[in-house]
Amino acid sequence: MYAYQPKKTACPYCGEIIELLIDCSVDEQRYIEDCQVCCRPITINVSIENGDPQLSTFDENDTF
Ligand SMILES: [Zn+2]
């Protein structure tokens, strides 16, 4: 069942819990979303495992 799922994660900059809407129709994705609290750009890595999105977040200084 593919759908959008809300997921909570902590901002790597300010530590606030923010809610993201994950598109579960894509197995692997990476995108940038501005923090809803401090407005800094968070790199978000998503992999879908058994329909459950796993999130990793990085700040702009992290290298891949
Ligand atoms: Zn923040």
Please report, in tens digits, the pLDDT of each residue of the chain (64 residues total).
568 999 999 999 999 999 999 999 999 999 999 999 999 999 999 999 988 899 999 998 876 5
Cα–ligand 1 centroid distance for 42 (angstroms): 8
CA 34 to ligand 1 centroid distance, Å = 8
Instruction: Answer for the pair 55, 47: CB distance below 8 angstroms, yes or no.
Output: no
> Which residues sit opposite 9 in a β-bridge?
18
pTM here? 0.84
- pLDDT, residue 28, reads 96
Q: What are phi and psi of 59, to 5 degrees?
A: -90, 175
| CA 50 to chain CA mean position, Å | 17
- Token representation of residue 20: 């993201």
